[in-house]
Amino acid sequence: MATSRGQFGSRIGFILAAAGSAVGLGNIWGFPTQAASNGGAAFVLVYLVLAFLLAYPVLMAELLLGRHAHGNTVIALTRISDRPLTKAIGAATGLTGIIVASLILSFYAIVAGWMLGFTVAYPLSSLGFGSSSTWLTAFTVPRNLTLMTCFMVMTMGIIMGGVHNGIERWSTRLMPALVVTLVALALYVFTLDGAVEGLKVYLLPDFSKVFSGDLILAALGSAFFSLSLGVGTMLIYGSYLSDDEYLPSIGAQVALIDIGLAVLAGFLILPSMYVAAERGVEIFDASGALLSEDTLIFSVLPALFTSLGSIGVIVATAFFGLMSMAALTSSISMLEVPVAFLVERFQWSRQRAATIAGTIIGLISAVVIFNFESLFGLVIALTTRYGQPLLGLMLCVYAGWVWNRNSLLQELKKNNPAAEKTWFWRLWPFYVRIVCPAIIAIIFARSLL
C-alpha cells in the first residue's frame, strides 16, 4: 500500500522535505527580530528548550500517526479509534486540518508572490525596465493577483510531480540552495560597517527579559507555526515514510534544522539592520522596538540594498530569491494536505486533485486580495492563533489517549526492537498525554483573552 501511494526515496530526502516545510517566511522575518528584542541569546536558548519540550512531541505525534496509517489525517485519526464517536470526531478534526492548511496557503501565497516580484524587480530595474520593476513592487490589486497566481502555479506544478519526483526532488534542490544563499549573504554583510553592532544586539544574552510569561507564550505560538504543526502537513509527510526509519531521531533532526536555520537567519538580518542604520535608515519604530515583519522586509532591507549601489542588485536578488525558495518548500507541504485527501478519498489523479485544490485556494486568495484590509489579518489570526494550536491539541489527545498504547509501541518497534527501553518511550507518552495538551490549552485560553 505504501509504495503505490508514493514514498520518499531516501531518509535525507524526507528530512529536507520536512525541514523545507518547517523553514519558511516565519523563520526569516519573525524569529531574528523577536530574538533581538527579547533577550538575544537568552531568548534563543529558551526557544530551543521550548521547541524541544512542546513542539517536538507534537511533531512526533504527527509523524507517528501518519506513518502508522500510511494515509491522510482523516484515515489516520479514524483508524486508531474504535468507537463511533471518536471516529467521527477524528474525521472532523482531519477535515478541519485540511481547511486550515488551505487557508494558511491562501495568505501565504500572497506574501510569497510579493517575494517573487521583488526577486525579479531588481535585475529588471538594473537592465533599464524601471516601470516593470515599479509595477512588481508597488502594492496594487493586479500585481498581487498576478504574483499570487504565479506562485500557486509553481506550487501546483511541484505537487503534480508526486512525492518522489515533485516534493522530494524540489526540496533536495531548494534547501541546500537556501542554506548556501543564507550563509553567503551573512558573510557578505559581516564585511560592512555596523554589522558587529547588530551581532552584539542579537547575541548578548539578557536573561531578565526572557522570563516574562507573555514572551514564553509568544515563543510557544511561533514554535508551532514554525514547525508547521496541527494541520496535518507533517502527518502526511510521515505517511510517505518507509517503515524502516526510526522516527524519533528523524523528527529531532527536522526540529534542529528548523531552529538552526532560524538562528542562522538572525546572523543575516540583525547585522543587515545595523548596517542599514549606519547608512541613515530608520530601524526602530515609535516605541523604540526594532522594525520587523513586512516593514523590515519591504522597506528597511530594500533601503539597505539601494544604498549598496550596483552590488545591491545582486544582494537583493539573492535575498528575495532566498525568501521565495523558503516559501515554496513550505507551500508545497500545505497543498499536499488537501491533495492527498482528494486522491485517497475520491481516487482522483494527483494532477486533477492538485488542479482543483490549487484553483480553489487561488480563488480564496483572490477574495482576500480584493478585501485585503478586512480579510488578510483575520485569516492569519484565525488559522495560526486559533486553528493550529487547537488542532495540535486534538492530535495530542488522539496520539496520547485514543491510540492504543500497545499499537503505538509496535509502531516504534518496527525499526527499533528495543524501543521500549529508549528515553523516547519513557518520556514522550506522558508528554503527549498530559504536558502538551495542558500547555496548548493555556496558550489557547490566553490568546482568547
Give the range of 25-33, 340-348, 361-369, 419-427 binding ligand PFF by CB under 6 A.
Answer: 25-33
Nearer CB in complex with ligand PFF: 188/240:
240
Report the nearest approach of ligand PFF to the CB of residue 249 (Å): 21
Nearer CB in complex with ligand PFF: 334/342:
334
User: Does 292 contact ligand PFF by CB under 6 A?
Assistant: no
User: Does 18 contact ligand PFF by CB under 6 A?
Assistant: no
User: Does 59 contact ligand PFF by CB under 6 A?
Assistant: no
User: Does 35 contact ligand PFF by CB under 6 A?
Assistant: no
User: Does 24 contact ligand PFF by CB under 6 A?
Assistant: yes
Report the nearest approach of ligand PFF to the CB of residue 291 (Å): 19
Pair 285, 300: CB distance under 8 Å: no
User: Does 93 contact ligand PFF by CB under 6 A?
Assistant: no
Nearer CB in complex with ligand PFF: 228/272:
228
Pick from 289, 264, 211: nearest CA to 31: 264
User: Does 104 contact ligand PFF by CB under 6 A?
Assistant: yes
* Options 231, 300, 315, 316; binder of ligand PFF; rule CB under 6 A: 231
Report the nearest approach of ligand PFF to the CB of residue 331 (Å): 8
Give the total of residues touching ligand PFF (CB under 6 A): 16
Report the nearest approach of ligand PFF to the CB of residue 133 (Å): 26
* Options 6, 13, 20, 26; binder of ligand PFF; rule CB under 6 A: 26
User: Does 251 contact ligand PFF by CB under 6 A?
Assistant: no
User: How many Å is the maximal CA-CA distance in the chain?
Assistant: 67
User: Does 181 contact ligand PFF by CB under 6 A?
Assistant: no
Report the nearest approach of ligand PFF to the CB of residue 224 (Å): 9
Report the nearest approach of ligand PFF to the CB of residue 104 (Å): 5
3-state secondary structure labels for all residues of the chain: CCCCCCCCCCHHHHHHHHHHHHCCHHHHHCHHHHHHHCCCHHHHHHHHHHHHHHHHHHHHHHHHHHHHHCCCHHHHHHHCCCCHHHHHHHHHHHHHHHHHHHHHHHHHHHHHHHHHHHHHHHHHHHCCCHHHHHHHHCCCHHHHHHHHHHHHHHHHHHHHCHHHHHHHHHHHHHHHHHHHHHHHHHHHHHCCCCHHHHHHHHHCCCHHHHCCHHHHHHHHHHHHHHCCCCCCHHHHHHHCCCCCCCHHHHHHHHHHHHHHHHHHHHHHHHHHHHHHHHCCCCCECCCCCECCHHHHHHHHHHHHHHHCCHHHHHHHHHHHHHHHHHHHHHHHHHHHHHHHHHHHHHCCCHHHHHHHHHHHHHHHHHHHHHCHHHHHHHHHHHHHHHHHHHHHHHHHHHHHHHCCHHHHHHHHHCCCCCHHHCHHHHHHHHHHHHHHHHHHHHHHHHHHC
Report the nearest approach of ligand PFF to the CB of residue 234 (Å): 8
Alpha carbon distances (Å) from 216 to 43, 110, 211, 396:
9, 29, 7, 21
User: Does 233 contact ligand PFF by CB under 6 A?
Assistant: yes
Here's the x/- map for ligand PFF, 304-343, by CB under 6 A: it reads as --------------------------x--xx---------
Q: All 3 cell numbers of residue 406?
A: 500497545
Q: How far apart are CA 325 and CA 331, in angstroms?
A: 10
Give the range of 81-89, 220-228, 241-249, 395-403 binding ligand PFF by CB under 6 A.
Answer: 220-228
Report the nearest approach of ligand PFF to the CB of residue 225 (Å): 5
* Options 14, 151, 188, 225; binder of ligand PFF; rule CB under 6 A: 225
User: Does 158 contact ligand PFF by CB under 6 A?
Assistant: no
Give the range of 83-91, 151-159, 227-235, 399-407 binding ligand PFF by CB under 6 A.
Answer: 227-235
Residue showing the smallest CB distance to ligand PFF in the complex: 24
Which positions touch ligand PFF (CB under 6 A)? 21-22, 24-27, 101, 104, 225-226, 228, 231, 233, 330, 333-334
